[in-house]
Structure 1
Amino acid sequence: MTFAIITDSTADLDANWASQHDVTLLGLTITMEDKTYETVGPDRLTSDYLLKRMKEGAKPTTSQINVGTFEETFRRLAQEGKDILYLAFSSVLSGTYQSATIARDMVLEDYPQARIEIIDTLAAAGGEGYLSILASQERDRGTSLDATIAMIEDILPRLRTFFLVDDLYHLMRGGRLSKSSAIIGSLVNIKPLLWLDASGKLVPLAKLRGRKKGMKEMLARATEDLGHSTAIVAYANDEDSAMNLKAQLLENEAIDEVLILPLGPVISAHVGPDTLAIFTIGKSAR
């Protein structure tokens, strides 16, 4: 029996790809200058517009997916008799996961026979997208829901997420980093490198002098102990650097494929313009 796959707009998956592969995207919202924007659907906020406004001084804020949205989606699929796998944005970075668990309990009261599995990915952006792509591939091969969950849970502690940001102001403003941690991002020409640790927390990892050195260090760390031949590169309004990273990754004999996933508006609102990211799967846990 096949199953439904749901993830968030924070997974930064292309909407056309999601539609073609029967993956449902639920959107967080963004408020900017007293206007609230959706991040899925035909009228969704684009990253290009958001980043342009941020460079002009806008300070967007993001809001989690609410319980009602999850309840409506879970209930519809339960009524159709479908098992559900929801791959959630990291619970450390958003309350979205908690909203989903509340909605699941509400739906199960009316449909106790329904199966609604929720995985806290402890991931974001291309990392969350990576897991969603792998889950979709397994389902398309006819893999069972149980086996797909086991595969995802095996990968979770081995998923590597690295962000090279232009500065840490936006992460501090959004509460994802403390003010003291963000000080290094204010130094001239210092490019902070961060990663998501095993608990899903965004942690400063290194401070590099200059973008070129930052990219080199990120590449080195992302390609240690590789356990999967696919890597993902993400970017915020710097596609040329992303393509540069892709070319360098493909020089590694352990990498056969590099996917480019532009950072969506929710993640862009927190990391800011000119951010680069690499996502890989290692052989051992973080």
Structure 2
Amino acid sequence: MDNLLMELEDKGYTHVIGLFLSSGISGFWANSQFLIEDHAKLKIAFPDTKITATPMGAMVRNVLHWSAQEMSFDNILKKLDEQIAQTTAYILVDDLNHLVKGGRLSNGSALLGNLLSIKPILNFNDEGKIVVFEKVRTEKKAVKRLVALAEDNQNMELSILHTNVPEKAEDFKEQLEAQGVKVSTVVSLCAVIATHLGEGALVLGLTPKFTK
């Protein structure tokens, strides 16, 4: 990162926006803040996205578009802050033990949850941390709850993400479309994120609809 910023300085760039994984799930954002003072020639903004994956990709897409429209740096950051504040994701995991390994759930809670067929729905909170949003009995009811959340947020750009369960993701998409809910994309999550969520996870991403 330091080398990249030096390269941008040498090429005559004056402003930089960097978007990284939520500070709630990675230490990279916090470390990036130390680089800002080291590059005084650049006006740098590394806002905390408080999210990851496709919803974060939507932020990158929007920033590139606003920049191409020659919007001012400050206005881009203002619109980006608005998008960050409205973006989140709801996560349904298949195996509670992965939450234990990630420190999201105690061993006792995982054991009890597995015995009772409890499927916790997680989400990104205002601090960008993954927390338990609701605890639902059985996966079928949990998916139904995700459908309801999608119906309640049809004014948003909705994406479906999954960890190596394309059939489950496609079935979820069909359930949403049957309710008249439009899905922008279906994406398989990368191995790094899948390691934390475990195989079989289903995610509903919400971000403000793209406006030019």
Note whether the superposition's TM-score is higher than 0.5.
Answer: yes
Matching residue within 158, 165, 177 for 1:231: 158
| Aligned partner letter, 2:2 | E
Q: CA deviation at 1:256?
A: 4.5
Contact 1:250 1:256 in 2 (8 A): yes
Aligned equivalent of 2:131? 203
Aligned equivalent of 2:189? 263
Q: Distance in 1 between matches of 2:119 and 2:205?
A: 18
Aligned equivalent of 1:99? 31
Aligned equivalent of 2:75? 147
How many pairs are equivalent? 208
Q: CA deviation at 1:176?
A: 4.1
Distance 1:232 1:225, change over 3 A: closer
Q: CA deviation at 1:265?
A: 1.4
Q: CA deviation at 1:178?
A: 4.6
Distance 1:212 1:142, change over 3 A: farther
Aligned equivalent of 1:80? 11
Aligned equivalent of 2:206? 280
Q: CA deviation at 1:175?
A: 2.7
Contact 1:237 1:274 in 2 (8 A): yes
Q: CA deviation at 1:273?
A: 0.5
Residue 191 (structure 2) pairs with residue 191 (structure 1):
no
Q: CA deviation at 1:270?
A: 0.5
Distance 1:222 1:203, change over 3 A: farther
Q: Distance in 1 between matches of 2:5 and 2:18?
A: 10
Contact 1:74 1:104 in 2 (8 A): no
Contact 1:195 1:204 in 2 (8 A): yes
Distance 1:273 1:114, change over 3 A: same
Q: Percent identity?
A: 27
Q: Distance in 1 between matches of 2:5 and 2:35?
A: 8
Aligned equivalent of 1:90? 22
Q: Distance in 2 between matches of 1:76 and 1:179?
A: 48
Q: Distance in 2 between matches of 1:223 and 1:242?
A: 17
Q: Distance in 2 between matches of 1:240 and 1:150?
A: 39
Aligned equivalent of 1:61? none
Question: Structure 1: any 5+ residue segments left out of the alignment?
Answer: 1-69
1:1-286, aligned counterparts within 5 Å?
70-82=1-13, 83-106=15-38, 108=39, 112-179=40-107, 182-187=110-115, 189-228=117-156, 230-251=157-178, 253=180, 255-281=181-207
Q: TM-score, normalised by structure 1?
A: 0.65
Q: Distance in 1 between matches of 2:98 and 2:144?
A: 23
Instruction: Report runs of 4+ in structure 1 exceeding 6 Å deviation.
Output: none
Contact 1:246 1:258 in 2 (8 A): no
Distance 1:260 1:282, change over 3 A: same
Q: Distance in 1 between matches of 2:109 and 2:57?
A: 27
Q: Distance in 1 between matches of 2:89 and 2:128?
A: 10
1:22-59 CA deviation, whole Å, 9 max, x = no partner?
xxxxxxxxxxxxxxxxxxxxxxxxxxxxxxxxxxxxxx
Q: TM-score, normalised by structure 2?
A: 0.85
